Amino acid sequence: MHHVEDTVTVAAPVDTVWNVLHDVRSHDRVFGPIHEVVVLESSASHQLVQLTVEVNTGVVHTWVTRRDIDSEARVIAFRQVRDLAPLVSHMGGEWRAFPLGPDRTQLVLTQDYAAREAVNGLVAEKFTPEETEKVLHGVAQRNAVTELESVKAECESRVAA
């Protein structure tokens, strides 16, 4: 299992950041790699969401993610529960928003992931375990930076409007 954590400071109140994170129905507009969001189930404390996402240039996958929501702590824990990508055996993490003052927020994205087991020396009949780890780490890092910058841009544009 691998763990990565990335962070960005957003020039917007924590409530603005939280609203962007929580409104999963708008994520296909906020996050460029997301092609489609379908909410399968929703309550005050969780969402079950089907996402269709470009995970690597030209590579699109669809999966189902469970999002457990703690509005008081401003934390959304997520984990893929169905239809994982061919290289992935586990993918999850958290979005956390911390106020740094009335007009600034620290946004943290953690990701925990693991590759599928190799069969006959290859993962998904394509990559060695070492190549798979390199691909997954690269995708996780690229997507984290892109997602954090997307939330930052959306929140700061809302404040400027």
10-23 per-position pLDDT tens digit: 999 999 999 999 99
pLDDT at 85 over 80: no
What is the model's pLDDT at position 31? 85
* 77 neighbors 92 (Cβ within 8 angstroms): yes
Spell out a b/e string for 20-53, using b for 16 or more CB atoms within 10 Å of the CB, else e: bbbebeebbebbebbeebeeeeeeeeebbbebeb
Task: Report CA torsion sign: 118, 124, 130, 134.
Answer: negative
Tokens describing residue 10? 């957003």
What is the model's pLDDT at position 138? 87
pTM above 0.75, yes or no: yes
List pLDDT tens digits, range 32-69: 878 899 999 999 999 999 999 877 667 788 899 999 99
Report the C-alpha gap between 9 and 51 in whole angstroms. Answer: 26
What is the model's pLDDT at position 56? 67
What is the model's pLDDT at position 82? 84
For residues 92-101, average pLDDT? 97
Report the C-alpha gap between 108 and 6 in whole angstroms. Answer: 6
